[in-house]
Amino acid sequence: MLGLRKAKKPLTVPEDIGGVRVRANARARRFSLRVDQKLGDVVLTWPRGGSESHALRFIAENRAWIASRRSAIVQPRNFAEGDVVPVYGRDVTIVRRDGRGVTRLEGNTLIVYGRPEYLARRVKDFLKNTAQDVLEDIAARKQDKLGLKPKTIAIRDPKARWGSCGPDGRMMFSWRLILAPPYVLDYVVAHEVAHRVHLNHSRKFWALCAELAEDATAGKKWLSKNGNAVMAYI
């Protein structure tokens, strides 16, 4: 009769050590460090069989790396009354009012009705709806230019990408794009529409992307420099 394999005990580790958050990983072979964008911090991966003394030594050896990564991390942000946020290239001040009403723009003021605890969600809902309208319009014009039948786009909440295009031509965009300048939205849409013709990043793809975009180079540079700050909005 074959013996039953004993189940391995759960890996128990401290929540943090040496000022660094810890995450257990029984499949890991060694200690490692990574940046967790969702937590907004550096995390130590603790393998099965790892010891506290080894963990502390590993952290000490990598203090400079940890400090440099932490200094570059943009902490998660939410919308609050009085904030000035960019909406499609226009700085807008968030103002809350009591009572009921539809969130709307008046000049450079975004008026949000209701109790304070609902403000952030209502601002985000407004930005999602605005992103849907703006990105649909841009996408429709670029697809028409290529003689493509327009596809309905989806506005989502991805944490690490600005847009995507599936094999069926359906496109997805991050609502956070509405916080970028118009030429950046134009570039991201051009990028995904170009994927409806070339599902790769070949020379032909980049040539078509450049043809469709107002300024692909400027769009890419802006995202490289400011993308993390925009992605920090939750």
DSSP string, 14-56: -SEETTEEEEEETT-SS-EEEEETTTTEEEEEEETT--HHHHH
Q: Which residue has the higher pLDDT, 78 or 76?
A: 78
**How confident is the model at residue 9, as a pLDDT?**
60
**How confident is the model at residue 74, as a pLDDT?**
77
**How confident is the model at residue 1, as a pLDDT?**
47
**What sign does the CA torsion over 197, 181, 221, 41 have?**
negative
pTM above 0.85, yes or no: no
Using one digit for the tens of pLDDT, what is the confidence trace for 10-65?
678 899 999 999 999 999 999 999 988 667 789 999 999 999 999 999 999 999 99
Q: For the domain covering 124-231, report its CATH number.
A: 3.30.2010.10
Statement: residue 139 has pLDDT above 90: yes
**What residue ranges do the domains of the chain occupy?**
16-72, 124-231
